[in-house]
Amino acid sequence: MSGSSADSDTRMSAAQHEMVELFMHFGHNLGLPKSVGAIYGLLYATAEPLSLDAIVTILQISKGSASQGLRFLQNLNAVQVVYLPGQRRDHFTAERRLRKLANGFLRERVEPHLEHGADRLDRIGDAIDPDDPNAVHLKKNLERLRNWYRKSRQILPLVRNVIG
């Protein structure tokens, strides 16, 4: 009813397939589930927004996976909902601007860990027993770690600058 050629709604072209695999592998690198990479890859390689149902059919994954994966991608600002007039279903499209994508990723997946790490460093400091013969060594290397955190924080704006 909606597609132009017979099965443009149910099958990927070879190039789309390659894109799906590219993003699956890339996502896997970053510790994301395969389904998330696949969904993003498909949307990236498709001009028109796709419904959840189309994604399920084309990628042959379960509705549950698709639903969770899409939510995840929306939280990252990697996918947007497009409301098509007269269409009941939500449709989804990939955010293709690297700046937006990287920002989402840094905000959701990198910064929280940096925060958390800084807290942990404080906890280590508190846990050093002054009587421990190792105390001097521990203090010195804790300082060194704080330095690492300082540097990783410096890198963030730099990255934003290059990709902006």
Partner DNA sequence: CAATTTGTTCAATCATTTTTGAACAAATTG
Partner DNA sequence: CAATTTGTTCAAAAATGATTGAACAAATTG
Determine contact, residues 11/21, Cβ cutoff 8 Å.
no
Select the binding partner of residue 150 from DNA, its own copies, none (C-beta < 5 to 8 A, by kind).
Answer: none
Q: How far is the CB of 109 from DNA (least distance, A)?
A: 12
Determine contact, residues 132/142, Cβ cutoff 8 Å.
no
User: CA-to-CA distance for 105 and 40, rounded, in angstroms?
Assistant: 14
Chain position carrying tokens 């998330």: 36
Q: Helices H, strands E: what count in the chain?
A: 7, 3
Residues at the site binding its own copies, with contacts judged by CB under 8 A: 4-5, 13-19, 21-22, 25-26, 29, 31, 44-47, 96, 98, 113, 116-117, 120-121, 123-124, 127-129, 132-134, 137-138, 141, 144-145, 147-148, 151, 154-155, 158-159, 162-163
Residues of the shown chain interacting with DNA in the complex, contacts defined by CB under 7 A? 28, 31-36, 51-53, 60-65, 67-71, 88-90
